[in-house]
Chains A and B, each alone.
Chain A
């Protein structure tokens, strides 16, 4: 059990989900609502038809990207609670790039691709820079990263809101939104035909997860990061500069969060808006990453599960008169059940069980 294979973990997650659903339905039934309708609505909202699947995958795309960003930092022993802020800043950089460069470049599909690629690159740079900031503060001013990253989330949100409201809001409108991106700046929906989901976005998320996994597991840079996370003194012994590693870790994490911002701006919104109205992907990502044991590949199924629960929960909120607290409670139960074996495994490892010490 302590060293369960991937397949065993997957089977455990499925069984845990079913068990949690069962208990959740008992609670729903006990509070006087229709449990069968609740469960079927949850499933229908997640995967019931093509557009629901598209919504699930859209949420999953965002959760996988932000989840990988969190996992990178956690793996290196740095608690980046600022993925939300880095994601907001990254998306804003994308929006600025697209809005300012669009008039200068030819339109049409070619211009669209160029703008989206440039927008994503600036998002990576901006997200990385915004992540580097708390990294530098931790390394050279001994400022706890948990506190600074939380604060920087508020700063990102507030500053972006101010800039949009003061300078980017088209005249004659009152909502704090930028102009919409040109029509040709959009990812194609393909089979899903949805305005806010594209398999390309999901592909970017999967490729990012895989790429980060390869960096962590196969490169000496990744070895430096992971070793720092496990045992800082051993990392220093092996030639890792602890201060520089904190900064590179936060930068790397922020860069991945920047990709999430780019996908949110391009694929989901098609403009940019007041960040305080955005979903809290950067925070949900912490749960996603923990469920995945901070493994970038594990973030993929964890992100899909969370995306489905999110979509199903929202669907219940629209269609049934079940209180949203109850929906959140049942979903929380599922998360707890799925995450519990992982938590037990982590704590068992921490307390040194599972080895046959002589």
Chain B
């Protein structure tokens, strides 16, 4: 298929409308064979819509699609797959209870007298794996639910390759991965392009786009702002194209000093659902007007620590004290009422009810808070106003409070949750990955809000796997490894390299500049 010299994919003036909303307005994109083409843009800029058009999920209202030089119209993903275009969705399309082998061949099973021919399926997958250097062949009989996210993603890729794809669309593939898994994915992507595969890489992380892409096309408000060379562009240039103005990458100077201790945690031990100890004797304190950052590789006890502080998980031993009151045994609701806001790691299942509109989601967590609820009765007019205020202030798109939460893109969901939690005017905010999946303009805004609220005297406990984020926002930075704090450091004085070593569990040789709690 390749070698004809024609681009792998050529999109010409693609237009797609949903009712009155124009999601794509005359977008052009050319994917050269054997290259990575990044598609960047803020949440709701139309990246996913454009790719859904290419993948046959949506019919365009205008424009043409050429694959390998041939004009094509796709009525369904099956047509796209037949033309060699595969898509790796952000939420994997895998059956959790089936094995890797079954998932890969699903819908395209080699058959032998009507039965699935296991041996030739295995052989075909082995061939794909050895061609591209994948290591999933040893997992073929493992069920998907028993595999890590990174491996699941590779299964998705192998599934597309097995179906004969030579052009792959990766829809925000790094959003669900840890930093190490991201590096592994980039290696896989390099291997794929070396073998003649062409990749479209959707992301809103500029450093990732610059790291792997040959060309970068920027979308804004459904239009293509332009295509630049991945090697010669800068983060500033891309950010300006995406947002339409200059973006500050620096933190703001603080204007006030920290006050009294708001949250104090002493010798905390917490178990996970399986009864394994995940938090092993952590001490920490956060003062009002202060941000304590917690950096660490995901899965080192951050989730359990946060849940224990917010009241979602019982502790084994130790105490949690909030504003001088021991709240170790109090309910989640008591803690909400006491003024602890929580931006949860998982907005999909915890932070929002997917089938509720934004009005009903604005009440989530506020069920006992006046003026939204008085004498047990909900004042829906007041809640509706509240929802509208969040949507306006945090620029949630589309700006309709009647929209179901599930219909919003991930970044807009996150903005709504952050807005709801910060508008409580809490005394303590526990923020778990507050900007995960959020575009640059909104990250800037959320970071700005957190700094403002810190200056107004709020205490913030920030957990993030993004080092630049914790370094930029924190006043003090604790590094967690296997349920313990390895060290507490000054975020301005520490380098990323040092942090990396601490996150791997290695203590620094000397206590240089470490800030005691």
Contact = CB atoms under 8 A, between A and B. Distances in A.
A37 interface: no
B185 to A, nearest CB: 24
Contact of A358 (B48, B331, B342, B363): B48
Given A230-B353, A233-B349, A239 B49 contact: no
Given A221-B376, A231-B354, A238 B367 contact: yes
A237 B367 contact: no
B364 interface: yes
Contacts of A325: none
Contact of A237 (B19, B312, B355, B356): B312
A5 to B, nearest CB: 14
Contacts of B342: 237
B23 interface: yes
B172 to A, nearest CB: 13
Contacts of A238: 336, 364-367
B368 interface: yes
A223 B49 contact: no
Interface stretch (B193-201, B259-267, B403-411): B403-411
A327 to B, nearest CB: 38
B404 A230 contact: no
B344 A237 contact: yes
Nearest to A349: B355
Given A219-B376, A355-B407, A358-B44, A230 B355 contact: yes
B350 interface: yes
Interface string A234-268: 10111111000000000000000000000000000
A220 B356 contact: no
Contacts of B355: 230-231, 349
B364 A357 contact: no
Contacts of B363: 223
A219 B373 CA distance: 8
A50 B349 CA distance: 53
Contact of B376 (A220, A233, A241, A349): A220
B404 A231 contact: no
B347 to A, nearest CB: 10
Interface residues of A, number: 23
A221 B333 CA distance: 13
Interface string A209-229: 000000000111101100100
Given A218-B377, A220-B367, A237 B351 contact: yes
A231 B348 CA distance: 10
Contacts of B353: 227, 230-231, 234
B310 to A, nearest CB: 9
A58 B376 CA distance: 34
Interface string B185-224: 0000000000000000000000000000000000000000
A219 B409 CA distance: 30
Contacts of A223: 360, 363, 367, 378
A321 interface: no
Interface in B330-345: 331-333, 336, 342, 344
A164 B345 CA distance: 57
Nearest to B403: A355
A172 interface: no
A142 interface: no
A183 interface: no
A354 to B, nearest CB: 9
A234 B336 contact: no
Contact of B332 (A227, A239, A349): A239
B344 to A, nearest CB: 6
Contacts of B457: none
Contact of B407 (A219, A230, A357): A357
B407 A356 contact: yes
A239 B407 contact: no
Contacts of B366: 238
Contacts of B438: none
A214 to B, nearest CB: 9
Contacts of A237: 312, 332, 342, 344, 350-351, 364-365
Contacts of B48: 357-358
Contact of B368 (A220, A227, A230, A356): A220
B352 interface: yes
Given A231-B353, A234-B351, A239 B365 contact: yes
Contacts of B351: 234, 237
A355 B406 contact: yes
A221 to B, nearest CB: 6
Contacts of B331: 239, 241
A234 B348 CA distance: 9
A220 B332 contact: no
A252 to B, nearest CB: 14
B437 interface: no
Interface string B368-410: 1000010011101000000000000000000000001011010
A352 interface: yes
B66 to A, nearest CB: 24
Nearest to A220: B367
A124 B87 CA distance: 56
Contacts of B378: 218-220, 223
B46 interface: yes
Given A218-B377, A355-B404, A358-B23, A234 B350 contact: yes
Contacts of A349: 355
A237 B48 CA distance: 30
Contacts of A231: 349, 353-355
A234 B349 CA distance: 6
Contacts of B354: 230-231
Contacts of A356: 18-19, 21, 407
B349 A239 contact: no
Contacts of A239: 311, 331-333, 336, 365, 367-368
Contact of A227 (B18, B364, B373, B406): B364
A220 B363 CA distance: 9
A227 B355 CA distance: 10
Interface string A72-90: 0000000000000000000
A234 B354 CA distance: 9
Given A223-B367, A355-B404, 9 more contacts: A219-B377, A221-B376, A223-B360, A234-B350, A236-B350, A238-B336, A239-B311, A239-B365, A356-B19
12 contacts: A221-B376, A223-B378, A224-B367, A227-B356, A227-B364, A230-B356, A233-B346, A233-B350, A236-B332, A239-B331, A356-B18, A358-B49
- Nearest 8 CB-CB pairs, A to B? A239-B333, A355-B407, A220-B367, A237-B350, A356-B18, A238-B365, A233-B349, A238-B364
